[in-house]
A and B are shown apart, each in its own frame.
Chain A
Amino acid sequence: MSKLQEYEGPILEIDGLSISFFTRLREIPAVMDFSVEVQPGEAVGLVGESGCGKSTVALGVMQDLGVNGHIVGGTIKFKGRDLSEMSREELRDIRGNEIAMIYQEPMASLNPAMKVGKQLIEVPMIHEGIGEKEAWQRAMDVVRDVKLPDPERILKSYPHQLSGGQQQRIVIAMALMSKPSLLILDEPTTALDVTVEAAVVELVRDLGKKYGTSMLFISHNLGLVLETCDRICVMYSGEAVETGSIGDVFDRMQHPYTQALFRSIPLPGADKNARPLVAIPGNFPLPHERPPGCNFGPRCDYFEDGLCNSGTAIQMTEIEGDDRHFSRCLKFDSIDWNAPVAAAIQTQAVSKGEVVLKMDNLKKYYEVAANALFGAGGERKVVKANETLSFEARESETLAIVGESGCGKSTFAKVLMGLETATEGQITLDGNSIEQIPIEKRNTQTVADIQMVFQNPFDTLNPSMTVGRQIMRALEVFGQGESDEERHNEMMRLLDLVKLPREFAERMPRQLSGGQKQRVGIARAFAGGARIVVADEPVSALDVSVQAAVTDLLMEIQRAKKTTLLFISHDLSIVRYLSDRVMVMYLGHVVELGSTDQVFSPPYHPYTEALLSAVPIADTSVEKKHIVLEGDIPSAMNPPSGCPFQTRCRWKSEVPGALCEKEVPPMRELSNRHQIKCHLPEETLSLMEPVIKIAAE
């Protein structure tokens, strides 16, 4: 079976595409009047919040919408041929051969009971009819292309034997096996750590160039799109609202939603006091409750009654002078796009108070049986989840704890909360040590003092209890209020505090959106007047437009209540925006600790440097130094000798005598309370250049 004939025009032309899902109740339009073009060798980014229909577009292109989904209008042409008119056999020839797809969850998209090699060679064997040997040879080449070490071994392993980053490389290799002309990437790096993400993104970009593949890159992350794509299409509630080249859309946006989106993400230069983020008011409309006229109307700052909600569908309009730049807005001509942000309220920085929480040489080791499934027996291994953590947190201070998965940040939170007890060292709260007291034995005051806001608001609320009841329950547990009536009033005050309408007390968690649920979680944490709040990735499960609102809320409560906030996150942009001090962790070690400015500017710890370089920033004026870490994070079960970071460190050669491999570096103080765990000599550190430079405007 051969490829389609060479075709001169665009690889993919989507014109006026509408896709609906049909349920027993009604037709739910998921995508409406969507048009996009992908030229040969071009990468187009498709950006939007969850539920905006971007994945549906991808599945539409693959003609794989399931039983309920149907294309109700428009055409999808691939190399000039209408995909919806193709027979099943023709489609099968195209899938995997001409159009390949890379998915969000690499583990789930590989067959767990089939060796990786077999899954790879299948593709050319089906499409090109070549023999197993030749296909195997091809697989070896492609696996080498995606920069996996030891291809022979990788091809002979099962997916679960590979790490997340390796699995995603295999999925990419699988997509490239038949050298497709179009690659669809559906959030390819969302499940990966930042440093791994950076490496995968670089790989995709390079391979795209090498093979001349066109790409449709679906993501919610504007920074990633900036790094990978030539053109961008912003979607909102099933419609494309703005398309254009990266430069045009990022710098001269012509749609209020795009503008609002950019204002709600923390870019370098944003600051919680002087230049706070602007959240988009309101919520994303449900597909069957879209407003008349402009879908973004009810949340738009420039909304004009009678025009924006007049009921007729708004068409895309081309912007004169730009390269294929379209906007779906009736007022883009009359809006002053360069007007400064008006709505932001500036606040004063709060002065820090006394030290309330102090860690001293805290250690947490786990013993794990080597064979967990079939009972005890066999050797035991020690996992050093936390190694000698020492730091202080002051009243109304925000201390961010940053690191990739497996770095021990969640273990630390567990020890602090009392869900685990420490192996060694001390945690002192107001001078009393609490590290050995499990949560059941802590007194009510201590429990109420240290509270937590969790990552996933969907799982942390009891689904069968009303919101009000859950907050009242927390109040009861913390011994607040004398009677039910008092507690009820207090609960109402808490709802006010987190800016939820009081009617929400009677609602069930399933009736709330993600952001609203997270607000309930915050209200619950503050029910006992918490003085220390551990926020474990509190906004990473939320959409970009909601993230800003929840972050602001946390800041506001902190300001009012003088709370100490321990903000655990892997997202350096938001950390830079809201924290006072930052602690960087790697494999259980604190590698750098200092004020936000100190950590975000040189001298860096080599890991911090790589981390900063890995974070995609959605700002065309930012120049980043390009540092890609090789390999994966080592397993905590089997950490490298000496410095935990030595296996991936690019500065290792600067340290004489292979010291990095022999000794764990001591924590040393560089300048005013800026601590760093590295062997590098002072002179080398002082030569480090800043990773992020904002080009002069």
Chain B
Amino acid sequence: MGKFILRRVGVMLLTALCLTFGVFFLTNLYPNLEKLAKTQGNFRMSDEEVQTYLNNNGYLQPMVAKYGQWLGVLPGYVIEGTDGKVRAKCAERQQPVEEVDRYCGILQGNWGYSTVIKQPVAGIIVDKLALTGILMFWVMVLMVPAALVLGVMAGMREGSRLDRTLSTFSISTTATPEYVSGVLFIAVFASTAVGLKWFKGTATSAMDNVTFENFFLPVLTIAAYGMGYIARMTRASMAEVMTSQYIRTARLKGVSFYNIVVKHALRNALIAPFTVIMLQFPWLLNGVVIVETLFNYKGFGWALVLAAGNNDIELLLAISVISVLVVLITQLISDIGYVYLNPRISVT
């Protein structure tokens, strides 16, 4: 088991390296840098001035060198600028060049400085991740049990009226993207359009104090989309299990229908959806971007939109690192959990 996890962590790190290099490469293309120079300096810079600015700040080094420095495996640059000032990547504000550390990448815990929010990236990430974590937690609390119940109920008697009703419901929720359902929910439950002002159309206040009123709509919007999908998978898996021979064996042993479903079918039927549930985490990140922007909840997704819109390279990179880790860790958990659910698979 330990060996298996080690190997998976190795693969994970390699994937993270490749993905971050991709993001790094794209954000560091020259047009982006030019835009960055102009936002940092002034918008009327000439081409030469842009060149000088970028060169002085180490942006014109070879891509691999820059990536190595960002990562912290290469020493940070120390450049004597055309203006005679010496700038070092690792220098804190006003710090003399001589006292600066040689390395300062994410490996040294230096995530950089956000050009938009004007704060160190590490702090921003921690705050935003915590906020999104709360959102995700409630989404899971609502989505997973509801989806499993829906799926199992639909799948236990395939083709019945109950099955068809629940299937229609889950197909329609999963076929509605968040930007449609979110707007719909706001219109119906939070606006004067329908008049049911049950919930709030914005979740900004939930950042300090989560209440049912201000948080239910964003949670529901994300959950509804994933729920239908998981319910469909659970239903398919359940329906297949219910036709299998060991269920017939159980039935002809005299086991009651309730016990057939709960004791015999459930564990077998959950093997397939479990992986899907774990795959939903990355998907949720995607939904989070839309929903957080829509409900003005300043979490991880909101920060991503902000960083991407303003070419905030270091924030964007940090967000992508975290996203990659979330995806890969959930996959690791999913594989390990799968082993526990399915006795036929062993990692040892």
Contact = CB atoms under 8 A, between A and B. Distances in A.
A96 interface: yes
Interface stretch (A110-118, A402-410, A476-484): A110-118
Nearest to A67: B159
Interface string A83-96: 00000000011111
Contact of B3 (A103, A160, A377): A377
A95 B248 CA distance: 11
B31 interface: no
B252 A95 contact: yes
B164 interface: no
Contact of A109 (B7, B248, B342, B347): B248
A158 B248 CA distance: 18
Contacts of A371: 347-348
Given A111-B268, A113-B268, A374-B7, A105 B245 contact: yes
B264 A111 contact: yes
A92 B258 CA distance: 13
B252 A113 contact: no
B245 A109 contact: yes
A160 B252 contact: no
For B7, B245, B344, the residue with the greatest tally of chain A CB atoms inside 10 Å of its CB is B245
B343 A122 contact: no
A373 B1 CA distance: 13
Interface string B226-261: 000000000000000000111011111111100000
Contacts of B267: 113-114
A125 to B, nearest CB: 10
For B7, B253, B256, B347, the residue with the greatest tally of chain A CB atoms inside 10 Å of its CB is B253
Interface string B139-164: 00000000000000000000100000
Interface of B is mostly: helix
Question: Interface range on chain A: under 10, 10 to 19, 20 to 34, or 35 or more?
Answer: 20 to 34
Contacts of A105: 245
A439 interface: no
B254 A97 contact: yes
Nearest to A63: B252
B254 A103 contact: no
Nearest to B269: A113
Interface string A38-81: 00000000000000000000000010100100000000000000
Interface in A278-324: none
Given A108-B244, A109-B245, A126 B343 contact: no
Contacts of B245: 103, 105, 108-109
A123 interface: yes
B254 A113 contact: no
Interface of A is mostly: loop
B253 A126 contact: yes
Interface in B1-49: 3-4, 7
Contacts of B180: none
A438 B46 CA distance: 69
Contacts of A92: 254-256
A648 to B, nearest CB: 28
B194 interface: no
B249 A62 contact: no
Contacts of B264: 111, 114
B325 interface: no
Interface string A256-290: 00000000000000000000000000000000000
Interface in A429-458: none
Given A111-B246, A111-B268, A101 B252 contact: yes
Contacts of B263: 114, 122
A113 B274 CA distance: 15
Question: Interface range on chain B: under 10, 10 to 19, 20 to 34, or 35 or more?
Answer: 20 to 34
A96 B253 contact: yes
A593 interface: no
A127 interface: yes
A291 B267 CA distance: 48
A62 B252 contact: yes
Contact of B344 (A93, A95, A109, A160): A160
Nearest to B341: A113
B343 A160 contact: yes
A174 interface: yes
Nearest to B246: A111
Contact of B246 (A108, A373, A374): A108
B345 interface: yes
B246 A95 contact: no
A160 B264 CA distance: 16
Interface string A168-203: 000100100000000000000000000000000000
A55 to B, nearest CB: 12
A377 B246 CA distance: 35
A254 B248 CA distance: 37
Contacts of A108: 244-246
A505 B250 CA distance: 47
A109 B246 contact: yes
A123 B345 contact: no
Interface in B317-347: 341-347
Contacts of A112: 246, 268, 343-344
Contacts of A94: 254
Nearest to A161: B343
Contacts of B4: 374
Contacts of B244: 108
For A105, A111, A375, the residue with the greatest tally of chain B CB atoms inside 10 Å of its CB is A111
A521 to B, nearest CB: 29
Contacts of B341: 113
A110 B268 contact: no
Interface string B170-203: 0000000000000000000000000000000000
Interface in A508-548: none
Interface string A367-383: 00001011101000000
Nearest to A110: B246
A97 B341 CA distance: 31
Contacts of A103: 245, 248-249
A128 B345 CA distance: 35
Contacts of B246: 108-112
A437 to B, nearest CB: 38
A136 B270 CA distance: 28
Given A103-B245, A108-B244, A112-B268, A174 B344 contact: no
B221 to A, nearest CB: 35
Contacts of A110: 246, 249
Contacts of A174: 249, 253
A224 to B, nearest CB: 21
B253 A95 contact: yes
Contacts of A93: 254
Nearest to B344: A160
Contacts of A114: 263-264, 267
A111 B254 contact: no
A158 B3 contact: no
Contacts of A100: 252-253
A103 B253 CA distance: 12
A24 to B, nearest CB: 13
Contacts of A123: 253-254
B347 A96 contact: no
A127 B252 CA distance: 12
Given A95-B254, A109-B245, A373-B346, 10 more contacts: A95-B251, A103-B245, A111-B249, A112-B246, A113-B267, A114-B264, A174-B249, A371-B347, A371-B348, A373-B347
29 contacts: A64-B251, A92-B256, A94-B254, A95-B251, A95-B254, A96-B255, A103-B245, A103-B248, A105-B245, A109-B246, A109-B249, A111-B249, A111-B264, A112-B246, A113-B341, A113-B343, A114-B267, A122-B253, A122-B255, A122-B263, A126-B253, A126-B254, A126-B255, A126-B256, A127-B254, A174-B253, A373-B346, A373-B347, A377-B7
Interface of A: 62, 64, 67, 92-97, 100-101, 103, 105, 108-114, 122-123, 126-127, 158, 160, 171, 174, 371, 373-375, 377
Interface of B: 3-4, 7, 159, 244-246, 248-256, 263-264, 267-268, 271, 341-348
